[in-house]
Amino acid sequence: VGVPRLNGARMGVLATRTPHRPVPLGLSLAKVESIRGRTLIISGADLVDGTPVMDIKPYIPFVEALKTATCPPWVNAEGPDNEPLHIAKVLIGQSAEEQIRDCWSARQSQSMYSTAEEYLHLVRQALARDIRSVHQRSFGKQAKSEEGCKSHAIEGISAQRDNASSCDKDTLFHIILEWIDISYEMLQGSVVHVVGATTIVPNERAY
């Protein structure tokens, strides 16, 4: 499989965490947040949207937290050097933040987060690494310059153009978090600029 963190370099299936494997079952650490009736709420699991949870087992630190564990350098790498998924910063302008807050308020009763601030933190965390495909990063949509982009924001303060409708749709990327479609663009220097948000109904894709 092509590994995103290696810019598409191929590795054996069993050397990666790809779901495309002979037996598509995986393990992931998760935190039990709460129990609501017959529903168990967990967080922190390394899953994509729609992945079924087949089983939950207790974590046993003295058995599973191995201090002598090792991994390849490309897995253990930290920092911007030679890290294709590095993001320098995530900018959310005022208009985009208001749209995100409005969308979250509309779905508050179904959200796993208690406040809009917690949800905004989720957005920043999700975009703190370059989640685009290798094709999009290497051969597809080109990043704008931060200085030349009219929708540029500095330190989270919105500038002249700060909404998705006024941005070139060919340069927009999307991530869906709790059925809220977050649209963003990439600026030069590995900067993510969030430009808007819309709510979508389950099983409906807006793009």
- Give Cα 155 distance to the centre of its chain: 20
Neighbouring C-alpha atoms within 13 Å toward the C-beta of 173: 21
Neighbouring residues of 9: CB distance < 8 A, sequence distance ≥ 6:
2, 3
Give percent of the chain above pLDDT 70: 79
Q: Report DSSP letters for 101-162, one per residue.
A: HHHHHHTGGG-S-SSHHHHHHHHHHHTSB--S-HHHHHTSPPPBPTTT-TT--BTTB--S--
- The span from the CA of 132 to the CA of 4, in Å, is 9
- The span from the CA of 49 to the CA of 30, in Å, is 15
Q: For 176-192, how does the pLDDT look when each residue is reduced to its tens digit (9 = 90+)?
A: 999 999 999 999 888 99
Region 10-30 average pLDDT: 85
- pTM for the whole thing? 0.69
CATH of domain 89-199: 3.30.2310
Is the model's pLDDT at 141 over the cut of 70? no
Domain definitions of the chain by residue range: 1-77, 89-199
Question: What pLDDT is recorded for position 142?
Answer: 55
Torsion of CA 7, 85, 100, 35, to 10 degrees: 100
The two structure tokens encoding residue 150: 């009219």
Q: Do 1-77 and 89-199 have matching folds? A: no
Neighbouring residues of 5: CB distance < 8 A, sequence distance ≥ 6:
74, 75, 77, 83, 84, 85
Question: What pLDDT is recorded for position 104?
Answer: 96
Residue 156 vs residue 98, higher pLDDT: 98
Report the range of poorest mean pLDDT among 61-65, 111-115, 157-161.
157-161
CATH of domain 1-77: 2.40.30.70
Strand partners, 36: 39
The two structure tokens encoding residue 65: 């937290």
| pLDDT confidence bin for 161, thresholds 50/70/90 | very low
- The span from the CA of 173 to the CA of 170, in Å, is 8
Q: For 62-108, how does the pLDDT look when each residue is reduced to its tens digit (9 = 90+)?
A: 888 888 888 887 777 665 666 778 899 999 999 999 999 999 999 99
Is the model's pLDDT at 146 over the cut of 60? no
Is the model's pLDDT at 113 over the cut of 70? yes
Strand partners, 183: 174, 196
Strand partners, 93: none
